[in-house]
Amino acid sequence: MRKVELSYSLTAHGTGRTPHHALLRNTMMDVLHAVRERGSISGAARFLGLSYRHVWGQLKAWETELGQELLVWERGQSALLSPFGERLLMAERLAQARLGPQMESLRAELERAFALAFEPETSEAGAEVLTLYASHDHALNELQDIAASPVAGATGLHLDIRFCGSVDAIRALNEGRCVLAGFHTQPFADATSLSARTYRPLLKPGTHKIIGFARRSQGLMVAPGNPLRLWDMRDVARLQARFINRAKGTGTRLLLEELLTQAGMDPIDLRGYDRVESSHAAVAQAIASGDGDAGLGTEYAARSQGLGFVPLTDERYLLVCLKSALELPAVKRLLALLGSQAWQARLDRLPGYTSDHSGEVAAMKRLLPWWR
């Protein structure tokens, strides 16, 4: 088995061009991805800001080290990744997608630690740490970034985000392991829906307060151009498309169960119901690599991988805290940020997202219509 060593870089600002959305950079994977996208070694070199000779030398050195051919290339023809090169790149991208939530949390924690080193007086005096257990959502990563910047009076607010399933997030809140929890649910589900029956026992009026965050589009992530013509869950079952599921306890798994019930279908109807990935990004990457045909996910995750997207429903992504937590300075800072024009404009620029009662503290029945 090949050994892996991890590293990171420390810069004043984000620098350099990256050909993908990887959180943990690897020079060889950057080059392979660039060659795959640009169709030539010279094109990859230009995109990466390197010389042809340098990239060529790196590729030959890596082939020697790995004992495998990375490119299939003949003078005058486009450079192609070898079958091994394709497998290597896709395996690395899938691993990155699976570990994305944990790596985002690690990056944020490192940035906070270095903030204390560079600005000890400011950081120690004004820093506020807010622990949030939440279903993975890209908008939360955006919020984490803007919270640490001098916008809307939120300077010094560090969101310590721990990604998990929606149900597990609310349980963590009730067990005192966090101040806020993030979960998502269909705003139009009725009082007998699976979402209502799952979340209602975990939330108590008078004890919990709901905070609006965002509305996002969920649907089928499919190959570019939707070659199988998959428009709903019935099509997925009828055509025996290879489906990729999410784990129990996630909001997306709850959504799938509701969609199956509405269509009069059973889990056994789906080829791949037991194939589980850990995040929207991991499902999208598996489809992009040809390892699956469809899976439920956000429009943002699909667009980020260049996939096709078939919207099935809009859903609310909400935050919840104990009523007593509303008096905490960190929570007040967060509410101010969520209600700011700067945050809502940034949210509206994300594919598939729109602001929805952002920063509003509301009763259960206002933002959860199925609540009785």
DSSP result, 121-167: HHHHHH-EEEEEEE---HHHHHHHHHHTSSSTT-TTEEEEEEE--HH
pLDDT-based confidence at residue 20 (cuts at 50, 70, 90): very low
- Look up residue 47 and give its two tokens: 């995109």
pLDDT, mean of residues 63-86: 83
- φ, ψ dihedrals at 326, nearest 5°: -65, -20
> For residue 25, how many C-alpha atoms fall within 13 Å in the half-sphere facing its CB?
12
Rounded to whole angstroms, how far apart are CA atoms 361 and 288? 39
Number of domains in the chain: 2
pTM of the model: 0.75
Above 70 in pLDDT, residue 81?
Answer: yes
Let me know: does 308 contact 223? Beta carbons within 8 Å: yes
- Among residues 44, 74, 92, the one where a domain terminates is 92
Give the model's pLDDT for residue 368: 87
Residues 6+ apart with CB under 8 A from 204: none
* Mean pLDDT value of segment 29-33: 88
Q: Is the pLDDT of residue 349 over 80?
A: yes
- pLDDT mean over 22-45: 83
Q: Both 41 and 152 in a single domain?
A: no
Give the range among 48-52, 209-213, 241-245 with minimum mean pLDDT.
Answer: 48-52
Helix and strand numbers (H, E) in the chain are 15, 12
- 279, two tokens: 């995040």
Mean pLDDT for the stretch of residues 136-140: 90
Residue corresponding to tokens 């943002």: 300
Tokens 């420390």 locate to: 10
**Is residue 313 classed as helix, strand or coil in its secondary structure?**
strand
Residues 146 and 76 in one domain: no
Non-local CB neighbours of 84 within 8 Å, separated by 6+ positions? 68, 69, 70
Written as six digits, the tokens of 108 are: 């944020």
Query: What confidence tens digit (pLDDT) does each residue in 244-298 have?
Result: 999 888 889 999 999 999 899 999 999 999 999 988 988 998 999 888 999 999 9
Q: Are residues 51 and 172 in the same domain?
A: no
Q: Which of 106-110, 122-126, 144-148, 339-343 has the highest mean pLDDT?
A: 339-343
Let me know if 157 is exposed, middle or buried by CB neighbors in 10 A (0-12, 13-18, 19+).
buried
Average pLDDT over residues 123-145: 81
Instruction: Work out the percent of the chain whose per-residue pLDDT is above 90.
Output: 45
280-288 vs 83-118: helix crossing angle, rounded to 10: 150
Together in a domain, 87 and 185: no
Verify that 71 and 155 share a domain, yes or no: no
- 267 within some domain: yes
The answer to whether residue 155 sits within a structural domain is yes
| Residue bearing the bigger pLDDT, 37 or 13 | 37
Q: How confident is the model at residue 150 (pLDDT cuts 50, 70, 90)?
A: low
Judge whether 108 lies within some domain: no
- Do 162 and 237 lie in one domain? The reply is yes
If asked whether residues 35 and 182 sit together in one domain, one would say: no
55-69, 103-117, 240-254: least confidently modelled range? 103-117
Which H helix or E strand runs over 214?
A: strand 208-222
Q: Is position 50 within any domain? A: yes
Domain assignment present for residue 335? The answer is yes
Model confidence at 29: pLDDT above 80:
yes
Q: How confident is the model at residue 326 (pLDDT cuts 50, 70, 90)?
A: very high
Residue 45 CA: distances (Å) to CA of 18, 34, 79, 90, 273:
12, 8, 12, 21, 42
Residues 147 and 51 in one domain: no
CA angle 3–25–348, rounded 5-degree value: 140
One domain for residues 317 and 187: yes
Domain shared by 151 and 251, yes or no? yes
Relative to beta strand 157-163, strand 353-354 is unpaired
- Residue 42: its pLDDT value, please? 86
Quote the domain boundaries for residue 317.
Answer: 127-367
Q: Is residue 106 part of a domain?
A: no
Average pLDDT score over the chain: 85
Strands 128-134 and 157-163: parallel
- Tokens in use for 304? 């980020």
Look at residue 23 in the predicted model and tell me its pLDDT. 64
Residues 133 and 82 in one domain: no
What is the model's pLDDT at position 275? 93
Domain containing 321 — which CATH number? 3.40.190.290
- pLDDT above 80 for 156: no
Is 113 part of any domain? Answer: no
Look at residue 7 and tell me if it is in a domain: no
User: Can you tell me the distance from the alpha carbon of 336 to that of 360, in angstroms, rounded to the nearest whole number?
Assistant: 10
**Residue that is last in its domain, among 92, 119, 139:** 92
Other Cβ atoms within 10 Å of 38 Cβ, number: 18
Matching residue, tokens 């709903």 = 232
User: What is the pLDDT averaged over residues 163-168?
Assistant: 90
Whether 34 and 163 map to the same domain: the answer is: no
At residue 17, does pLDDT exceed 50?
no
Q: How confident is the model at residue 166 (pLDDT cuts 50, 70, 90)?
A: very high
The CATH number given to whatever domain includes residue 56 is 1.10.10.10
Residue 188 is predicted with a pLDDT of: 75
| Cβ atoms 69, 85 nearer than 8 A | yes
